Homo-oligomer: A and B are copies of this chain.
Amino acid sequence: MPLMKSWVESANAPDCPFPLNNLPYGVFSAEGSEPRCGVAIGEMILDVTLLEEDGVIAPGESPVFDVPFWNDFMELGPEAWAEFRDTLIAMLGADAAPAARAAAEKALVPAAAAEMHMPFVVSEYTDFYAGRNHAFNVGTMFRGPENALPPNWLHIPIGYNGRASSVVVSGTAFHRPWGQIKAPDEGAPRFAPCKRFDIELEMGAIVGQPSRGPITVAEADAAIFGYVLLNDWSARDIQAWEYQPLGPFQSKATATTISPWIVTKAALEPFRTATPAREKELLPYLDEPGPMLYDIELEVTLRPEGGEETTITRTNYKEMYYSAAQQLAHHTTSGCPMNVGDLLGSGTISGPTKGSRGSLLELSWGGKEPVELTGGGTRSFIEDDDTLTLKGAARGDGYTIGFGDCVGKVLPALDDPYKR
């Protein structure tokens, strides 16, 4: 599919992340307004809350944009999602009817003047461990290459429940966490600030339709509303001491940053690609009826306070072994009720080469091979006031689909919270 042209000229540049082909959904405020629903187009945001108020659009029988999140819209279901996208394309396309264009022009706000907010209410958050290279790298560090993959790994998209309250929108700074830590050579644990704070480069899939029993991979794919970039910040020293036998807990609960724009499944359709060849045959309930991954280029940059930005890794979402649709299908096998707004983290996306690993734990091989920074200095793990940025782009024929940067700055730990 080629670039679809818009009368919003900035949307037609080949490297613009928000062409008419994209139309991602977010929540913004501008000039002191309350947060409201918007659609990115070029360098502008279309205020759909205003358009709904004015009766120009009406995706549902009752208002869905009178709240600062996209959950009510998601509840309308796939047919309404497709219809609304068609409406937007008709309004913003180069050959828009004059009346539609005039209405849209009144609802455009410059993105540069807007502050972005959480685009949806996270109902529950599940994080997976579905990247083959990541699982192999981490397993090798802890158990050696022969026993790197757990015995269930090639059969189950392994996941665990995360903490929905930890999810924040890009741009949210937070403090380095404290926690209970015991190094292998220490006799007893200490309560101390995390020293091995890390990123995990992931994609997040957003569940847009509920289910109440087991669903197939095809049904799961149909229930997914869209995708965001996701940084699953991880406190490795806290994780190492706490995670046996029931999994990560406080090591993953400080923050989980997502990009500000939900890129819809419709926008990503031209970029579908198959999961890699299966190393072991999967049980039939995980069969994919078609390509379920997406070709999305990903990178992470690190910028020290006042310093230069270094790209520390470049990889691609198609490196995953399991797709989000497979993960969601597996999630429902027990009868687990899934709800609109559930967020599924893909798991860390590492490529096969050293420069394509999705965490500092892997990039610095547990701290043994620190990463060189462009402006001088090295990093094994995140230092105070470092800014980490995830970027994603699907490259089409003369256009780019972007997500908006997924940015987080790690402030120094606060004083001991229990010294009062």
Spell out A's residues near B (CB within 8 Å).
123-124, 129, 150-152, 155-156, 158-166, 174-175, 177-180, 182, 188-191, 213-214, 216, 235, 238, 241-251, 253-255, 280, 283-285, 330-331, 333-339, 414, 417-418
Asked if A244 and B150 make an inter-chain contact with CB atoms under 8 angstroms apart, the answer reads: yes
State how many copies of this chain the complex holds. 2
Which B residues touch A188, using CB under 8 A? 155, 280
Q: A298–B179 Cα gap in the complex (Å)?
A: 34
- Find A337's partner among B151, B165, B214, B242 (CB 8 Å cutoff): B165
Query: Which of A180, A188, A284 neighbours the largest number of chain B CB atoms within 10 Å of its CB?
Result: A180
B152, B249, B283, B336: the one contacting A242 at CB < 8 Å is B152
Contacts of A179 in B (CB 8 A): 333-334
Residue in B123, B249, B283 whose CB lies within 8 Å of A161: B249
Q: B161 touching A160 by the CB < 8 A rule?
A: yes
In the complex, the answer to whether B334 meets A177 with C-beta atoms within 8 Å is yes
The answer to whether B254 and A335 have CB atoms under 8 Å apart is: yes
**Chain B residues whose CB sits within 8 angstroms of the CB of A334 once the complex forms:** 177-179, 235, 238, 250-251, 253-254
Are B336 and A165 in touch, CB under 8 angstroms? yes
A-B contact pairs, 17 of them (CB 8 A): A152-B242, A155-B188, A156-B241, A160-B247, A161-B161, A161-B162, A161-B249, A165-B338, A175-B335, A177-B333, A178-B333, A178-B334, A214-B418, A238-B334, A254-B336, A285-B418, A333-B417
Q: Other CB < 8 Å A-B pairs besides A152-B189, A160-B249, 7 of them?
A: A124-B163, A152-B241, A159-B246, A160-B161, A161-B162, A189-B283, A250-B330
